[in-house]
Structure 1
Amino acid sequence: MLFRTIKNTTTMLTVVAIVLVCAAVVAFSVEEYEQLYLEATRADLDGLSENLASDLVPLIASDPDIFEVTTTLLRLDRYDNVKYAVVFDKNWQRLNVYFGTLFVPEELDSAIDTNELRLQPHGVDVKHGELIALKLVGDARLPLGHLLIVNDSSGPLYSSKLTLLKRVLPLVFLVLFVTIVGSLFIQRRLFLPLSRLSQVAKKIQVTHDYSLRIDTRGKQEVAELSRDINSMMETINAETQKNAKYTEQLKEQQKAMERLANFDGLTGLPNRQFFMETLRLELAKAKRDERNLVLMYFDLDGFKGVNDSFGHEIGDLVLMEVCRRTKGILREGDLISRLGGDEFLILLHNEPNDLELFEISERLVSGLNMPFEIQSWEVQVGVSIGIARASDSNFNVSEFVSNADIAMYRSKLAGRSTHTVFVPEMMEDNKRRLLIANSIANAIKFSEFSIHYQGKVGADEKIVGYEALIRWKSDVLGLVSPAEFIPIAEQSGKILSITKWVIKRVCQELDQVQGLQKNEVMVSVNLSAHDIKNTALVDYIRKMFVRYNVNNASIEFEVTESAYLENFDVANLFLTQLREMGCSIALDDFGAGYSSLGYLTQIELNTLKIDKQFVDNLNVSKRSTLVTKTIIEMAKQLNLQICAEGVETREQAEFLIENGCHQLQGYLFSKPKSLLEMLNI
């Protein structure tokens, strides 16, 4: 009943709000008063103890004058809150004691712990409701003794706060009472027009006399409401005549809403809901007629880059153009649907044979690979297609779409801009991929990962550094290759947790790794393209360096050339922060990706790592040999360190050293080893 009306609700809320505000103000004031009181009392005690300590210097400088010391301590009688005071000689032996009215002398021995006082710094401190002043008598270089004064703070503070409340609370209650009464009066005045409005409305409801009018006096909102109600009653009859017309319009709107519910608003294609319902019906018919159905699942390659580079408006225009171009490629009767984002489904009409299916797929790949002219921009995307047959899913809708999705994923793994037909064997691969993705968290939790270190040697073939490489020995999966689980971790969004684990473990083991060599060596840690997009990782690295007391210059971070250039601005910002911390930066797999040499003038690096494919072809392929020489010479001109990876033969090592390569890494010198193996444990 209390909260059934707006008036009662607002009244109660107003009262509660006022009470809470007053209570908060009083509580805050008392807290501030307590702080100010303690600060003032502390300052007074500090000054008093400092003066007494100075006055005691001549009294205990040679033979302590106990009478004069007692006389000096009796000056504390003027201070009611002093519990007791003790004068010690320099060896912490009691010379004299003063007892205030608040202290029982028999409790002195239990109250004073000389051993604890020896460790306590000089000054004023608060403990257990007491202000304790401990001062040095004499100079710090020639101490004569110590002065201890213990002052009661809790009792006086309580009395002072009680006095404050006795003075303040009557005024607070008065202000509270006046404010509440005033608020109630104002609210009653404000809600009076609404009460009158309610009475008239009830009367109209009973009498159905629409000639009655509501008094439009009152505040602006109430007056406007009254005028609106009067106007509404005047138009009731006219509105009744328009109902038929509105009913027809509602039917048209219903049709439009049905279209919105079943078709994509951007492309006009059937949406997921409509397509899945159609597919369910078609599967039932095909199973009954012992026919097969073919489903295509395609996803645009590089579409995210279009949105990032040109904006979502251009991205939407690209999707519309993809829709138009795809419709021109497909046959009559083929049903295309947009699932969302840049994903599309195509149900092919009249199961095509293998040749027809190949031709349709090739037309889609080549047609959608052609550049799009969008508002004077030339936009390039690709397409990865997955193809599935209904019979492979036992005509189950979810499995049918899932099989096409798995095949599409295979197309992306195969290099994109291609098409793949689902075969049942892919299901096992997909299950393993899901198992790996779901096992990563437990692998970190139960320490299934480990770090292996592969040495890097200089021209004299002595160790100059190590690269930290992660290995996974799973209790369920056995040995899992990084080449298998790293891409899965990247796609499932779990690569960051792996990278953090590697960084933490390297920081923990760094001292032991460096202890294997006489000179300080550098340890390299790999970063993925996903890692360099996460700015919070820099703060994590900094935190680990501080926690494990790592010399920042001992850590080098490696990022592949393709990962750097695909996210150039983000990578530059990320790696600049690492460089400012004192870490080194290496560009890995150089020459295997973009080889956009112009970027080397815009980025700051310490090391270029020559990709293994060039090392493998040294003295085998003239072109690879020439490219390798060129990379080394270019790095020299840019004052960069050169590291060649994948060195496995003596001939490769001699060629690289002869041409000025600074570091060599490969099985010829060292295989990756765990820390225990390196320590021969």
Structure 2
Amino acid sequence: MKFSIRFKLLTIGIISVVCSALSVFIVSLQEHKSIYAESVKTNLQALTINTADDLLLQLSVDSDPFLLRSTLLRFERYEHLKYAILYSKNWDKAEVYIQPKLFSQVAQNLLAIPEVDPKKLQQGVSIEGSNIYALQPIDETGNIGGYLLVAHEYLQPLDNSQKDLIRLTSPLLILILLITTAAMLLTIRQQLVPLMNLSKFTRNITRTKEYGNRFQVRGDDEIYTLGQDINSMLEVIDSEIKLNAEQTQQLTEQREALYHLANYDQLTNLPNRRHVLYWLTNIMDQARKNDQLIGVLYFDVDHFKSVNDRMGHDVGDKLLIEVGRIVASFLKHEQVVARLAGDEFLVVLPKLQDKMEAVAIARKLTSGFSVPISIDRWSIQTGISVGVADSEDSGYRVDDLLNYADIAMYHSKHFAKGTVTRFHPQMLVESHRHTLIVNSIVNAARNNEFQLYYQPKISAAGEVCGLEALIRWENDTLGSLSPCEFIPIAETSGKISEITRWVMDKVLKDLPEIIRSSNTDIVVSFNISSVDMSSDWFEPYLLQMIEDYPDFLRHLQFEITESNYLNDYKSANKFFKLVQEAGGSVALDDFGTGFSSLSYLGRIDIDTIKVDREFIVNFLNDRRDRAVLKAILDLTNSLGLNSCCEGIENVEQAKYLIANGCGLMQGFYFSTATPIEQISDAIELAKQRYRELELFS
């Protein structure tokens, strides 16, 4: 059978247009399928990672089943998410979430899910059968606490999406086919060239996938309409692809933002604890294999709490940012500074040449804080206390490395703030003793392992007007402990309140015997920590004591050191006012040892200034010490305050102090500190030693 050229051309034209349109459509379907699958994978992976991070926080706190189920219920708003299973680290099912519309199907047999063995799935996102699975370990620094498996329908949503695309574009395809047939029948010769150009254009779109191109048409005939329709179809396809691309870009940006949020400190923009420990673990493995040395510097900001209390948290935050910037400016490539928590930072130093290189870098860092830091209207003089440890010290164990550096930092803070201390194995012994002391304080208070000794204070007229209560501690394991050792440990560990409460209770218990032994309006003094004054328990306790012992408070004097006052002067001033309104008195202890202005003396309500023993020891042999001591006594008298000098060990010291206006004296010359049973003898001894001064002979 022979066909006419018109028929052939018409047939060829129709076939060409149909094939081209179908090719574009099929490619579009494939592209749509690929974009859809990638979008679902990306969304599912981001959702699973975020949920796993939330579950990690809950598992690390208390593993409350209610909180775990509440976290899994966030999947309820995702229509095509079939179920989510929380496994323990041993692959036991801990919690299961099932999409409500599927619950009736699996309620009779919960063991039927998941449809695949989770242990055989790769971590991340994978397609198995008609589902997409996301398997995410719940871990921190390699310590797996469980697994989260999430199943998402794949084929059915994809099929629905493709049907929607077909439903949207099919009318256009049919319209194009009809218009093309009519045009060829009417004006085959006139339209042949434009039609072939159109066919060529569509084939080019199929090949290049440049859906943003448009077919240039002229006139107002069917070829023009056909070209417009093809352009409309391309516009629909192009807009769909662009929309998917925008959504993919948004997901990428969100994933990057979530990564930054999870791995970087939001205040300083430095790596956070999680990120730096993950990185440190990886480079530690490489360093062990390559026999390389890694060092870490563990440091915190000196007097940071004082900055927060006195200048506000906004200034404190800006100080942390500036500290991070200063430290980073001293570091080389691959050397990283991270913020761990609060005012604690960690510097990682890979590929060290020797152990002392880390110490040298640490000293450079401390020297960077020799100049005050200007923040807003404040000029802040601060520093950093640094602990140094290296991978050889820890046997290439990350946890031990950080622990050793932390222990070394504690030594820097305890013995000389603003300095560098390198870890030494002996510090482990000291750290163990430190831990024993912390853990023993509560039992020591409950079991009365503490003892109070009282040292007399004698006036310039020879009367014993006061006693200072000094604490002692005898422990079966730790032996005899000096207050200089366990009091700072109690303050830093939050256990000082146990000691303060015990001391106050014991003083109140001993006070009747003290009054009987002295036959005077004697005043018993004892130390109060700034931690006590700012704690929630102290003020109610003091008010209750005033109510229970209204006549005793005039016999009590609360001593606070100059440094403690300056650390928290707001709480101190409030405390001073409360004590004095109730009839008690306040003494400023260790006066002269701080590095503050004397201007605050005229603004605080205290009764007594206690001159530190450092000014007493050498004043007879040192002209400058003698001048400073006399100036302090003159200043105290000018302000109308009582003065008390401690550490008096000989006659010459006592005579000089009396001659220069010292109000009260205490020291070994008059009497050592004695238990309550010997207080009468101590008072008589102090009076006898005063008479031996022969001031009026």
**Scaled by the length of structure 2, what TM-score is found?**
0.61
* Cα distance in 2 between the residues matched to 1:372 and 1:639: 38
- Residue 633 of structure 1: aligned partner: 634
Q: Secondary structure at the match of 2:494?
A: coil
> Structure 1 321/634 Cα, relative in aligned 2: closer, same or farther at 3 Å?
closer
* Cα distance in 1 between the residues matched to 2:635 and 2:376: 40
- Deviating 4+ runs (over 6 angstroms): 238-241
Partners of 1:369 and 1:417 within 8 A in 2: no
> Structure 1 459/267 Cα, relative in aligned 2: closer, same or farther at 3 Å?
closer
> Structure 1 599/377 Cα, relative in aligned 2: closer, same or farther at 3 Å?
closer
- Residue 45 of structure 1: aligned partner: none
- Residue 480 of structure 2: aligned partner: 479
Q: Which moved more, 1:469-478 or 1:504-513?
A: 469-478
Q: Secondary structure at the match of 2:518?
A: coil
Partners of 2:293 and 2:392 within 8 A in 1: yes
* Cα distance in 1 between the residues matched to 2:459 and 2:376: 54
Q: Secondary structure at the match of 2:605?
A: coil
* Cα distance in 1 between the residues matched to 2:326 and 2:593: 34
- Residue 361 of structure 1: aligned partner: 362
Partners of 2:438 and 2:489 within 8 A in 1: yes
Partners of 1:553 and 1:584 within 8 A in 2: yes
1:513 to partner: Cα distance:
1.0
Partners of 1:387 and 1:421 within 8 A in 2: yes
Identity of aligned residues (%): 40
Partners of 1:369 and 1:383 within 8 A in 2: no
Partners of 2:546 and 2:582 within 8 A in 1: no
1:189-242 per-position Cα deviation (integer Å, ceiling 9, x unaligned): xxxxxxxxxxxxxxxx9xx99x9xxxxxxxxxxxxxxxxxxxxxxx9xx98984
Partners of 2:294 and 2:352 within 8 A in 1: yes
* Structure 1 gaps, min length 5: 1-204, 212-234
- Residue 33 of structure 2: aligned partner: none
Q: Secondary structure at the match of 1:299?
A: strand
- Residue 521 of structure 2: aligned partner: 520
Letter of the structure 1 residue corresponding to residue 639 of structure 2: L
Q: Secondary structure at the match of 2:386?
A: strand
> Structure 1 595/618 Cα, relative in aligned 2: closer, same or farther at 3 Å?
farther
1:341 to partner: Cα distance:
2.3
> Structure 1 640/336 Cα, relative in aligned 2: closer, same or farther at 3 Å?
closer
> Structure 1 522/644 Cα, relative in aligned 2: closer, same or farther at 3 Å?
same
Question: Does residue 499 of structure 1 match 2:522?
Answer: no
Q: Secondary structure at the match of 1:470?
A: strand
* Cα distance in 2 between the residues matched to 1:486 and 1:292: 38
- Residue 661 of structure 2: aligned partner: 660
1:287 to partner: Cα distance:
2.0
Q: Secondary structure at the match of 1:339?
A: strand
* Aligned ranges 1:202-213 → 2 under 5 Å: none
Q: Which moved more, 1:664-673 or 1:295-304?
A: 295-304
* Cα distance in 1 between the residues matched to 2:326 and 2:528: 39
* Structure 2 gaps, min length 5: 1-159, 168-235, 683-697
1:595 to partner: Cα distance:
6.0
Q: Secondary structure at the match of 2:298?
A: strand
1:299 to partner: Cα distance:
1.1
* Cα distance in 1 between the residues matched to 2:379 and 2:597: 21
Partners of 2:359 and 2:422 within 8 A in 1: no
* Aligned ranges 1:191-202 → 2 under 5 Å: none
* Cα distance in 1 between the residues matched to 2:333 and 2:355: 18
* Aligned ranges 1:335-484 → 2 under 5 Å: 335-354=336-355, 356-375=357-376, 377-484=378-485
Number of aligned positions between the proteins: 451
Partners of 1:503 and 1:541 within 8 A in 2: no
- Residue 263 of structure 1: aligned partner: 264
* Cα distance in 1 between the residues matched to 2:262 and 2:596: 48
Question: Does residue 488 of structure 1 match 2:489?
Answer: yes
- Residue 559 of structure 1: aligned partner: 560
- Residue 297 of structure 1: aligned partner: 298
* Aligned ranges 1:238-317 → 2 under 5 Å: 242-243=243-244, 245-317=246-318
Q: Which moved more, 1:361-370 or 1:547-556?
A: 547-556
1:243 to partner: Cα distance:
4.3
Letter of the structure 1 residue corresponding to residue 374 of structure 2: E
Letter of the structure 2 residue corresponding to residue 279 of structure 1: L
Letter of the structure 2 residue corresponding to residue 393 of structure 1: S
**Scaled by the length of structure 1, what TM-score is found?**
0.62
* Cα distance in 2 between the residues matched to 1:334 and 1:643: 53
* Cα distance in 1 between the residues matched to 2:681 and 2:649: 24
Partners of 1:558 and 1:587 within 8 A in 2: yes
> Structure 1 496/669 Cα, relative in aligned 2: closer, same or farther at 3 Å?
same
1:648-681 per-position Cα deviation (integer Å, ceiling 9, x unaligned): 1111111112222221101111111111233689
Partners of 2:273 and 2:340 within 8 A in 1: yes
Partners of 2:293 and 2:354 within 8 A in 1: no
> Structure 1 362/485 Cα, relative in aligned 2: closer, same or farther at 3 Å?
same
Partners of 1:507 and 1:545 within 8 A in 2: no
1:512-561 per-position Cα deviation (integer Å, ceiling 9, x unaligned): 01111222311112111212223642331232244356432111111112
* Cα distance in 2 between the residues matched to 1:374 and 1:464: 48
* Aligned ranges 1:3-18 → 2 under 5 Å: none
Partners of 2:309 and 2:568 within 8 A in 1: no
